C-alpha cells in the first residue's frame, strides 16, 4: 500500500484523482486550503479510513514537510487556476504557483520523493502551429497583459521541476492538461462548459465570448486521471513532459448549440429567443484580452509510452455533467 499526497486534492481534478487512488487501495492525504477547491468535492470520501484531509496551504512549510516526509508519491495539483482569477488576482496566481511549487520540490528533494506536477496547455501561449508538441516553442504576449502571467508561472514550475530532476536526481514527471471537463467542475473560474450548462438549465442566454469560432478540445476527467496515474507508474516517464487531452476540436459556438440540444433532449424547457449571446472579450475579461484561436494537443508521446488515449466522448461527458446538475 502506497502513501499518496495530493496537493489541491479538494479541487475538481484532484478530488477525482483521490477517489480513483482510494479505489485502488492506497492511502491518500489531501492538503487544500479550499481557496478554489471545495469540501463538497470530497465529502463522500471523508469516511474512508485511508483518507486524511488537511485544510492548510502548501505555503505552510512545517505542515508540508511533515506530509512529504511520510509519503511515497506526490501529485502536485494545487495552483491558482482559471482565466477570471488570472485577470482579477494576478499576484495570487504568480505567488501561489511559483512559491508553492518551489516548496513542494524543495521538500520532495529533501526526502527523495517522486513528484508529478500538473501543468497546462497555457504553456504554449499563442503559438498557432497545432497540434502542440511537448517540444514546441512558446509564444507569449507582453508582460503588460496579465493574461500571460499564468502561462509564465506554470513554465517556471516546469523549469524548476526539470532542474531538480537534472541537478538532484529527483523523480519528476510533468503533465500538461488541455481543457479537462466533467462532474464537479464549476463555472466561477471561467470554465466554459459548466458556465454554458448552468445558463441553459437556468433558462438564461448562453454567453459565448468573441465570435465563438475559437476551438478547444475537451477531455473527460476520468480519462485524464487514468493518464496521470499511468504516468506515475512508469519509470520511463521520469524527467519528461507529457500532453494529456483530447485532439477532437469543437468551436465554442458549436459547443453552446450542442449543450442546448442535449438539454432539450432531457425535456428541459429552454429559451426560444436570444439563446446565444455574444460577449466581447474586453467586456468578459479586460481591455486588450488575447485568446487563442485553436488549442490542440499532440498526444503521440503519452500514447507511445503508456498506450493512453481518451475513451469518453464529449457527448457522454456533457450528459454526465447535465445529469449531475439536475440531480442537485
What residue ranges define each of the domains in the chain, with the CATH number in brackets?
3-181+219-245+296-310 (3.40.50.720)
Catalytic residue among 150, 164, 189, 209: 150
Helix (H) or strand (E) holding 267: none
Q: What is the largest CA-CA distance in the chain?
A: 61
pLDDT in tens, the chain (328 residues): 899 999 999 999 999 999 999 999 999 999 999 988 999 999 999 999 999 999 999 999 999 999 999 999 999 999 877 666 676 788 888 888 999 999 999 999 999 999 999 999 999 999 989 999 999 999 999 988 887 888 999 999 999 999 999 999 999 999 999 999 999 998 776 689 999 999 988 889 999 999 999 999 999 999 999 999 999 999 999 999 999 999 999 999 999 999 998 888 765 555 454 589 999 887 877 666 777 889 999 999 999 999 999 999 999 999 999 988 888 7
Asked if 37 and 56 count as a contact pair (C-beta separation under 8 A), the reply is no
Number of neighbouring beta carbons within 10 Å of residue 105: 23
Query: Rounded to whole angstroms, what are the CA distances from 281 to 42, 169, 193, 210, 291?
Result: 34, 44, 17, 6, 8
Residues 6+ apart with CB under 8 A from 178: 121, 216, 217, 219, 243, 244, 245, 246, 295, 296, 297
What whole-number distance in Å separates Cα of residue 234 and Cα of residue 232? 6
First to last CA, the chain: 35
150 flagged as catalytic: yes
Q: Residue with C-alpha cell 521520469?
A: 238
Q: How far apart are CA 31 and CA 53, in angstroms?
A: 6
Q: Estimate the crossing angle of helix 221-232 against helix 12-23, to 10 degrees.
A: 60
DSSP H or E segment with residue 122: none
* C-alpha cell read off for 219: 477531455
Amino acid at each position: 500500500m502506497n502513501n499518496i499526497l495530493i496537493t489541491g486534492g479538494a479541487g475538481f481534478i484532484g478530488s477525482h484523482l483521490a477517489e480513483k487512488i482510494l479505489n485502488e487501495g492506497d492511502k491518500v492525504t489531501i492538503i487544500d486550503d479550499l481557496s478554489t477547491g471545495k469540501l463538497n468535492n470530497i465529502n463522500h470520501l471523508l469516511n474512508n479510513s485511508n483518507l486524511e484531509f488537511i485544510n492548510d496551504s502548501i505555503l505552510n512549510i512545517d505542515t508540508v514537510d511533515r506530509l512529504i516526509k511520510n509519503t511515497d508519491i506526490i501529485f502536485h495539483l494545487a495552483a491558482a487556476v482559471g482565466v477570471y482569477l488570472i485577470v482579477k488576482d494576478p499576484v495570487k496566481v504568480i505567488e501561489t504557483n511559483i512559491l508553492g511549487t518551489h516548496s513542494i520540490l524543495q521538500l520532495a528533494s529533501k526526502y527523495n520523493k517522486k513528484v508529478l506536477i500538473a501543468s497546462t496547455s497555457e504553456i504554449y501561449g499563442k503559438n498557432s502551429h497545432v497540434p502542440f508538441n511537448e517540444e514546441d516553442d512558446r509564444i507569449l504576449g507582453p508582460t503588460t497583459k496579465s493574461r500571460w502571467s499564468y502561462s509564465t508561472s506554470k513554465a517556471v514550475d516546469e523549469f524548476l521541476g526539470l532542474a531538480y530532476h537534472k541537478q538532484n536526481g529527483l523523480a519528476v514527471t510533468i503533465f500538461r492538461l488541455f481543457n479537462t471537463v466533467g462532474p464537479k467542475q464549476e463555472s466561477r473560474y471561467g470554465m466554459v462548459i459548466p458556465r454554458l450548462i448552468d445558463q441553459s438549465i437556468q433558462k438564461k442566454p448562453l454567453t459565448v465570448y468573441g465570435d465563438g469560432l475559437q476551438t478547444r478540445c475537451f477531455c473527460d476527467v476520468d480519462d485524464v486521471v487514468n493518464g496521470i496515474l499511468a504516468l506515475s507508474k512508469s519509470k520511463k516517464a521520469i524527467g519528461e513532459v507529457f500532453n494529456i487531452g483530447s485532439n477532437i476540436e469543437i468551436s465554442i459556438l458549436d459547443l453552446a448549440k450542442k449543450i442546448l440540444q442535449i438539454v432539450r433532449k432531457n425535456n428541459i424547457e429552454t429559451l426560444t429567443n436570444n439563446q446565444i449571446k455574444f460577449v466581447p472579450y474586453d467586456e468578459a475579461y479586460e481591455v486588450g484580452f488575447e485568446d487563442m484561436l485553436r488549442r490542440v494537443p499532440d498526444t503521440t508521446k503519452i500514447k507511445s509510452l503508456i498506450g493512453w488515449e481518451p475513451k469518453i466522448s464529449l457527448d457522454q461527458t456533457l450528459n454526465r455533467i447535465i445529469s449531475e446538475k439536475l440531480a442537485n
